[in-house]
Amino acid sequence: MYSKKLFLFDFDGVIVDGMKEYWHSSLLAFEKFLNTPNIVIDQNLHKQVSSTFKEMRPWVKYGWEMLIIVHEIIKVESPLNNDNKIDFQNKYHQNCQKILFDNSWAAEDLQKYLNEARQYQIDQNFDNWIKLHSPFDEVINFIEKIKKEKIETGIITTKGRVFAAKILEKLNILPELIFGYESGTKVEIASRLSKEYEIIGFLEDRKKTLIDLKQNTLTKDIPCFLADWGYLKDIDRINLPYEIKLLKLESLEELLAI
């Protein structure tokens, strides 16, 4: 019998909308840490997030992939745009690997440069960096309510833990547990936690992650909720398997009944 209950949350796209931060930090990573002759960065690029980037975001699993996408959008020759993005999406993982190979990049290095771009902004003007994140107030209110019910909260994000923690602290969200990409996959983390907690829900905006949870022996009984307000592909909302429930932002309160 478990003595503690836990509700798990993804971070980006579920608790905060970080679209502006992704775009800005990826551009900055190229400007300051990753010289490449194939791109030209105009300061006007920072003023507005590319519509193509927004369309591509649901395909991203790890932060370093955003640098790949930004590179393809701003490169001088044959840039990625709304006309050819479908072709890129159809072979997304293969394309990402090809771009790594063609540029002699390593995923670990791109992640490091993205982290350094974030740290640079934090050191220079922390408040401005925080303002690039837009919290979903309904989710924050929900977290506060379940904590009053003595349910612990955990954040599992593919962002670096230190960066997620800084944002959460500024938003006055104080989860008992925070895990970044350094801690392993979400399935691995949830599997470990399932041995200690009764996990009464996992709120995530990546359908594949929830399917992986449901197909894992240790996590298959965790109630899984797909965040309709997150970074979803259109097809993600259709025919959800394994009793994964599509949850709308205005329906969050219904989870209190669990």
Encode pLDDT of 92-117 as tens digits: 999 999 999 999 999 999 999 999 99
pLDDT at 2: 72
Give the residues across from 179 on adjacent strands. 156
- 250 and 142 assigned to the same domain: yes
* Average pLDDT score over the chain: 94
Structure tokens at 68: 């790949």
- 67 and 104 assigned to the same domain: yes
pLDDT at 254: 84
Give the residues across from 153 on adjacent strands. 7
**Which domain, by its residues, includes 56?**
19-131
Query: What mean pLDDT comes out for the span 117-131?
Result: 95
pLDDT tens sequence across 32-65: 998 788 888 888 898 899 999 999 999 998 999 9
- φ, ψ (nearest 5 deg) of residue 18: -105, 25
pLDDT at 258: 62
CATH value at residue 226: 3.40.50.1000
pLDDT band at 86 (very low <50, low <70, confident <90, very high): very high
pLDDT tens sequence across 190-199: 999 999 999 9
Give the residues across from 70 on adjacent strands. none
Residue listed under structure tokens 């905060």 = 16
Do 3 and 197 contact (CB within 8 A), yes or no? no
Which residue type sits at 198?
E
pLDDT band at 1 (very low <50, low <70, confident <90, very high): low
Q: Say how many domains are in the chain.
A: 2
Domain end (from 131, 159, 183): 131
pLDDT tens sequence across 142-185: 999 999 999 999 999 989 999 999 999 998 999 999 999 999 99
Domain end (from 86, 115, 131): 131
